[in-house]
Chains A and B, each alone.
Chain A
Amino acid sequence: MTKRYPVLHVENLTMHYLTRKGEVKAVENVSFSLDKGEALGLVGESGCGKTSVALTLLRLLPENARFLGGHVYFFRDSTDEAHARRAVGKPVKILLDGQEHQGRLLEATRSHLVLDASANGRREQLRLNRQDVARLGVDLTALSDEEMRPIRWKGISMIFQAAMNSLNPVYKVGDQIIEALQTHLPISVPEARERVAELFQLVGLDRQLMDRYPHEYSGGMKQRAVIAMALACEPDMIIADEPTTALDVIVQDKILREMRQIQKKLNMSMIYISHDIAVIAEVADKVGVMYGGGLVEFGPSDAIFKNPIHPYTKALMSAFPSIKGEKVKLAALPGEPPDLIKPPSGCRFHPRCPFATEICEREVPEFREHKPSQYAACWNPLSKGDR
Chain B
Amino acid sequence: MITVALQTQTRTETLVRVEHLRKLFPLRTGVFARARSFIHAVDDVSFEIKRGEIFGLIGESGCGKTTTGSLLVRLLDPTSGHIYMRVPSHPETNSQEEQYVDIATLEGRALKEFRRNVQMIFQDPYESLNPRMTVFDIVAEPLGIHGIGNVYEREERVAELLSLVGLTPPESFLFRYPHELSGGQRQRVAIARAMILNPSFIVADEPTSMLDVSIRTGVMNLMLDLREEFGISYLYITHDLAVARYMCDRIAVMYLGKIVELGPTEEVIQNPLHPYTRALISAVPIPDPAVERQPIEIKGGVSKPIDPPPRCRFYDRCPIATERCAQSDHPPLEDKGRGHFVACYEI
Contacts and interface: CB of A to CB of B under 8 A. Distances in A.
A41 B218 CA distance: 25
Contacts of A329: 2-4, 221
A325 B290 CA distance: 12
Contacts of B2: 329
B269 A250 contact: no
A249 to B, nearest CB: 5
B148 interface: no
Nearest to A291: B214
Given A319-B217, A327-B245, A329-B4, A250 B287 contact: no
Interface in B210-224: 212-218, 220-221
Contacts of A279: 285
Given A249-B241, A321-B245, A324-B286, 15 more contacts: A248-B60, A254-B295, A256-B285, A279-B285, A281-B287, A281-B288, A305-B290, A319-B213, A319-B216, A321-B246, A322-B242, A325-B288, A327-B4, A332-B218, A336-B185
Interface string A279-290: 101101000000
Contact of B300 (A251, A257, A331): A251
Interface string B1-18: 011100000000000000
Interface residues of A, number: 45
A319 B291 CA distance: 18
Interface in A210-244: 218, 220
Contact of B214 (A256, A306, A315): A315
Interface string B269-303: 10000000001110111111111010100101110
Interface stretch (A4-12, A160-168, A270-278): A270-278
The range of chain B's interface size is 35 or more
B289 A250 contact: no
Most buried by A among B214, B239, B298, B302: B214
Interface in B6-61: 60-61
Nearest to B59: A248
Nearest to A277: B287
Given A301-B289, A306-B290, A323-B281, A330 B214 contact: no
Contacts of B213: 45, 275, 277, 316, 319-320
Interface of B: 2-4, 60-61, 182, 184-185, 212-218, 220-221, 239, 241-243, 245-246, 266, 269, 279-281, 283-291, 293, 295, 298, 300-302
Contact of A250 (B3, B4, B245, B283): B283
A46 B212 contact: yes
Contacts of A218: 300-301
30 contacts: A45-B214, A46-B212, A220-B301, A248-B61, A248-B302, A249-B239, A249-B285, A250-B280, A253-B284, A254-B283, A276-B285, A277-B213, A278-B242, A278-B284, A284-B289, A301-B289, A302-B289, A305-B289, A317-B287, A319-B214, A322-B245, A323-B286, A327-B266, A330-B220, A330-B221, A330-B246, A332-B217, A333-B218, A336-B182, A336-B184
Contacts of B214: 45, 315-316, 319, 332-333, 337, 352
